[in-house]
Each structure stands twice: as structure tokens, then as C-alpha cells.
Chains A and B, each alone.
Chain A
Amino acid sequence: MNYDFDWSLVLSGQYLHWIIEGLKYSVCLMVLSSVLAVVIGVLVTFGTLSQNRVVRFIFESYIELCRNIPTLLWLLFFYYVFPELFPESITRELNASTSLNFWSAIAGLSLSSSGYISEIVRGGIMAVPKEQIAVSYSLGHSRLQIWRYVIWPQAIRNCFPPLVSRIIHNVKNTSLAMALSVHEIIWATQQIESITFRGLEVTIISTFFFLFINYIMAFSARLVEKRLMRSVN
């Protein structure tokens, strides 16, 4: 290997500033989009469990849209197309905003993930044995009580592992925001590479950043999972 690593260049001045800003933006994207995705996903799940066929159809179509369109396209949609759907004055206002790219990225990421998350949560709820619910009813518990004490605790346990892996997936997807010129870590990587041509150094930094974040997440998820399982036994 005859590549001379030059860490001092990329870890100084403007470049270091870009890397730090990039890490901040990445973390913001990860946290905000994941939280939003879970919230939307859970709400959509209740929609799909509705008795009303029309409501169910709407929410199921939503899930199909989320899952079957690439995340990048969702990001591009919110950035380039979404503002054009409004009356002209609002369009101009939206386009003039300097944070449009950031919020488009958040919207695209959380929308895309929410479809998967909703399916995961629904799976967790469906896996609760029907007999338990029937028994709870016959014991005289109310609908709310059954949700609160019977279905929900088991559903969370059921869907926790796939939920975590989906969120890790979402965390990795945040790098797509570079396509909208959001200055997250991969954008910073490419920007520094295009100016200093020290691509390998910055790529290694961003690789370790993602490895680190995802490893921490997987590790803490395992701890939580163990606790959840213990509470059953």
C-alpha cells in the first residue's frame, strides 16, 4: 500500500470545522427522523387496525407508498416537488428558506421508515395470542385496559428487535441527505475529498462514526432486550 496518510490536513482549520458540523447535522438527522418515524409508524399502525374498511385502505396504501419508493426519491420529492404543490406565494416562501433541505431530509427519512415501522409494530400486536384478548374480555376488562396491560407490553417485546434494526437502517440512510446539500458527515467527506483529494482519511473518519453510532445502538438494544425478556421470566 503506497498511500501516504495525511491526517493533519483534514483535521485542521476549515476541514475539521466541516467534519464537526457534519457530525452534528448527522446526529440531528438521526435522532429527529428516527423519533418521528416511530411516532408516525405507531399512529399509522392504529389506522391499519381500524374496523372501517376505507380508513384501513388509506393507511395500508400509505404503508405501501412508503415501503415501495426508494428513500432517496422521497428526499428529492420533498425538496424539489413538495414546495411546488402549494399556491405560488407559499412556494416562493418555502423555496426561499435556507433550511428547506434539512427539513425535506427529515420528512423523507421519517416517512420512508414509518412504513416499515408500522408493519413491524402491527406484526408485534398481531402476534399477541387472540385467546388472551378473549379471556381478558370475558374477565370483564375494558378495551383500554386490555391494550394497556395485555396487548401493548407484549407487542413492544415482540417488535423491539426488528424495530432496532430498522432504526439502525434509518441511521445509515441519513447519509442520503447529502443529495440535498445538507452538510452532514458524508457531505463533509465528499466536500473535503473534492478540495484536498484526501478521500481515504475522511472516509475512514465517517466510516468509524457510523460504526460507532450503530454499535452503541445495537449494544444498548441488547441490554434493553435482556431486561424485557427477564420481565417475562
Chain B
Amino acid sequence: MKVITGKKIVSLMLGSAIAVGALTGCGANTEESVLDKVTKAGVIHVGTANNNPPMNYLDDDGNWTGFDVDLSQAIADELGVKLERVVVNNKTRISYLANGTVDMVVSNLSHTRSRDDEIDFVEPAYLWTGKIAYAKKGQFDELTDLAGKRIAVDQGSNAYIAIQQAIEEANGEAPDIQSFQSNAECFLALKQGKVDAFTQDSVIIAGVAGKEGVDYEAISGIYSPGLYSIGVPSNDSKWRDKLSYVLQDLMRNGKYDEIYEKWFGEDGMYPVDPSAKPVLNEKAFGEDELYVWPD
């Protein structure tokens, strides 16, 4: 067997490090707006996950479906370009934007400050939901009861930080957070008693639990807002504005409502109460006035 010398090892290691860097580092081009790139190519690359029902998931026939899927399709139609989907997960969705793999991310992405440091978000947030802690009925009364308990989160969800903050602000003992690779695994762990609670955005918990949700409940309502927004690469205001206009146009022309009703409306697949629509304050603006900038 040929002996590999120390020098060779070092050069091998350097080589592989550079290769990894080249693969993930390039592509982020801030010179040209993504808008120009997308219109020129006639294709928009959209990052969406496929394991967060009802936002994005594979149905029984294996078709990619969900609110995010319908919304991104409507946006591509409005832009008049072909839509090409890229699978992301809750961990890769930010880095894919940062390195230019995708032009936008529509994937149950909550607008948070730490994410805003890396990417930008389209206005407004397209679904106003929030985090709940989910546990067996009657086991816990308040969020602070979860102090020191085992809590499941989907790795990559900001629920990891949100639940710790919520409990620590109430001076509770830090919980033991276990992060799983999907929301379905989180719910399975909850069902089997491997964790005491599972925390995630209320719409996703409703989607994951489905019919089995009857034995479970949210502990004392929403504790942290989950404002789902469309993620776009940082520092590209032309592209970000364009998408904001397109999203708001969809809200104006009723296409947004159509999609919303299909999924979360009273007769929809996952009725949400109270509404998760991005609407303005009812007292000041009247009922169901959507968050849209005037011309």
C-alpha cells in the first residue's frame, strides 16, 4: 500500500476545504438584481420544504402541495415566468438564499431579526400565525409548567429560541429541548412520551397532528408570533420591492383570498380560528382590510 505523506494530507485537506467553499460560496452575485436574472431566464427558482403540512407537504399521491406551493405558483404566474422548485428544509432555507441557489424562499419562514441579518423579507408577512406549545390534554395549564420539561422542536425552527425565551422570561428553569429532523418526528416523540410537549407554529401543528389532535391541546394559546414571510436575498431592493408588489397585487385581486380559503378558510382543509390573514386593525380599518400599501 502506498503511504500518504503528511504533506500530501495537508494539501488534500486544503483542497477539499476549497472545493466545499467554492461549491457553497459562489453564486451569490449582488451586482445584478435577481429580478433581471429571473426575467431574462424566464425561470424563478423557489425554495420550499415538503414536510410542514399544511404549508408544504407531499400528499398521498406524492404531489407537492400546500399553501406555500399554491402561493409561490400564483407569484410565478403573476410574474409571467416558469416556476422551478428546489427542496429546502428548515435548516438550509436561509443558506440557499444567501448563496444564490434559490431566488426566493416560500417555506413557512417566520420573519425574525436574526434571519433578517442574513436575508431580506418581502412585505407583508403572508400569514400571521404563531407558536404554540402542544401537549396531552390536561397535563399542563400554563407555559411556565414546561420549565425543566422535555420539549420537541423541529431543528431549524426558531421555536428553539422562542420557547426558551418565553419560559426564561417567566423565570422558569430552562427546558430540555430535543430537536428532531421533521415535525412528524416531533409529534411521534410527543405521542410516545419521549417529550412532554412539542412546540411549533399553530398551523403546522394542526397539519401534523391531523385527526390525532383530539387528545392534545395548545397550552395557553400563542406565545410568540410566527409571521410567515417570503425570504429574498439580502440587499436587492429591486427584487424585494417587485415581489412585495406582486404579493400585494395577489391580495388585491382576490387570488390570495382564494388560496387562503382553500387551506385555512371555514370550509378549507385546515380551518384556522382566529384568522391568520394579514389584515389591518379591525377597529380602525373595518373588517378584513388586507395589509396592502396604497399606490
Contacts and interface: CB of A to CB of B under 8 A. Distances in A.
B188 A197 contact: no
B95 A193 contact: yes
Nearest to B192: A95
A181 B181 CA distance: 8
Contacts of B194: 95, 100
Interface string B103-142: 0000000000011001000000000000000000000000
B41 interface: no
Given A181-B180, A215-B9, A197 B21 contact: no
Contacts of B146: none
Q: Could you say which interface size class chain B belongs to?
A: 35 or more
Given A98-B150, A181-B179, A197-B94, A80 B20 contact: no
A85 interface: no
Contacts of B90: 194
Given A181-B178, A197-B118, A207-B16, A1 B25 contact: yes
* From A84, A181, A196, A208, residue with most partner B Cβ within 10 Å: A181
A92 B192 CA distance: 8
A22 to B, nearest CB: 13
A101 interface: yes
Interface of A is mostly: helix
Nearest to A179: B181
Interface stretch (B55-63, B154-162, B264-272): B154-162
Interface string A76-105: 000010011000000010011010110000
Nearest to B114: A195
A191 interface: yes
A204 B192 CA distance: 36
Contacts of A179: 180-181
B13 A199 contact: no
A97 to B, nearest CB: 9
A92 B191 CA distance: 11
Nearest to B90: A194
A1 B192 contact: no
A151 to B, nearest CB: 26
A173 interface: no
B268 to A, nearest CB: 30
Interface in B239-255: none
A150 interface: no
Contact of B176 (A84, A95, A98): A98
Interface of B: 1, 3, 9, 13, 16-17, 20-22, 24-26, 28, 90-91, 94-95, 98-99, 114-115, 118, 150, 155-156, 160-161, 176, 178-181, 188, 192-194
Given A95-B194, A200-B21, 6 more contacts: A100-B194, A194-B160, A196-B114, A197-B95, A197-B98, A222-B3
- CB-CB nearest 5 A-B residue pairs: A3-B25, A194-B156, A1-B25, A95-B193, A181-B178
25 contacts: A1-B22, A1-B26, A2-B25, A3-B28, A3-B99, A80-B188, A83-B192, A84-B192, A95-B193, A181-B155, A187-B155, A190-B91, A190-B155, A193-B91, A194-B160, A195-B114, A197-B94, A197-B118, A200-B20, A200-B21, A204-B17, A204-B20, A207-B16, A222-B1, A222-B3
